[in-house]
Structures are given as structure tokens and as C-alpha cells.
Amino acid sequence: MSESQDEVISTPELLELTLSHLPIRDLLLTAPLVCKTWLAITRTPALQRILFFEPDPSPRAACTHNPLLAQNVKDIKSMPWSRVPDAFNRPEASWRRMLVSQPPPQKTLVREIARWRGGVFERRAVVDGPLRMGALYDIILPLVDCRESAFCVRWHRDGDESDITLAAVYANPSLKPRIRVLDDEFYTVPIKLKNDLEFGKWGPCTVF
């Protein structure tokens, strides 16, 4: 090994800088497997931010969506569960810890909207803290799985009351689940759905 190679490899700051220029997929999949030192370097704050594991505090003009999640999880209904269900469903799978964007939404508004007896009603829940994909998944799945519903995600700009809104729209809240849309298509192992959200009371829906 040459002298300059040796110096770059053995200087954590230089190695960190060099790794920071790797494509995110290689930084996630390849770099941590080389040795313990490299693993430790992928866990520095700078690289954790690049990997969407830690929120980036530096102000920036535009929000970047997590490209790995965008590639692998185009929308919640096309997650490739059926191809590698184990890799996705295991609790330690790293996608669960990944932020959905950088900087991440700090305030998530969840709205359930129902058309019911000639009126439109809604109830709301708010989730504080940086939004990670695992939490997003846990919030969304029960909403879209329970009833006939349409679902939408809206990203907000500065000045709105929340950074991101997740809204489920039901045809009729009193309907018992008729179709469990996600059953066979989206995961092969039945998982227990949890929805710990504390919703407010149903009320008239003002903004639709």
C-alpha cells in the first residue's frame, strides 16, 4: 500500500469525507461491511445525515425526499413486500429508522375525513417530532387497511400549521371493513396493526 493511500485510509476525517461522496446506496450497503472502523465512520453525524438517519439542522432552500425510499417504496401500496417480505418486515430493518425527507417534517397532521349523512366530517391527530418511515408506515397502514378509503399525502410549505398532512377519506365511517385491501397483496406475514394516534372528536370538515 502506498503512503498516500495509507494516510487517507487511516485518517478518519479523510475517510469520512471520501465516503460522503459515495452514492447513498453504496454508503448504506457497502461501506459498513468493510470493517469495524468503516462501520463506525458511517455512524458519524455527518454521514448519518446523508443516510437520512439523523435530521440535518442546516437550513436549506428545498426539502430532499429520501431517494432510497422513493426508489424502493414508490407508494405505500407498491412496497415490494411480496418479493422480500422478511427483509422489510423484520423490526430492525433500517428503512424504519430513515427520515422520509431531509430536513424531515417535524409536525405531522393526520386527518380522517368521512362523507356521512349528507355532510363531511373529520377528526384530527397530530404527531410531533421528525417523521421516520417506520412511524409513517405504522400510521398509514391501519388507516388505509380498515375501511374503503382514499388516501393522500400532502407536503406543506413554511407557514402552514403542519409540515405534512396524511389524510384518509372514507365513503362512510360506519361501514365495517368490507375489503381488506392490503391482505394478500402487500404483506405475506400478517402483522398486528397498531394505531396509537390520539384523535380528537369528529366534527364538521371545514377544509377539504
Q: By the criterion CB under 8 A, which residues form the site for other proteins?
A: 1-2, 4-5, 7-9, 13-14, 17-19, 21-23, 25-26, 28-36, 38-39, 68, 71-72, 80, 83-84, 86-88, 90, 92-95
User: Would you call 115 helix, strand, or coil by DSSP?
Assistant: strand
Identify which of residues 1 and 207 has a Cβ nearer to other proteins in the complex: 1
In the complex, least distance from residue 2 CB atom to other proteins, rounded to whole angstroms: 5
Which of residues 113 and 136 has its CB atom nearest to other proteins in the complex? 136
Give 149: exposed, middle or buried? Use CB within 10 Å, 0-12, 13-18, 19+: buried
Q: How far is the CB of 54 from other proteins (least distance, A)?
A: 16
Find the shortest distance in angstroms from Cβ 97 to other proteins.
Answer: 9
38, three cell numbers: 468503516
Cα distance between residue 64 and residue 26, in whole Å: 19
Cβ-based nearer residue to other proteins, 69 or 167: 69
Cβ atoms of 109 and 164 within 8 Å: the answer is yes
Cis peptide before 67 (omega within 30 of 0): no
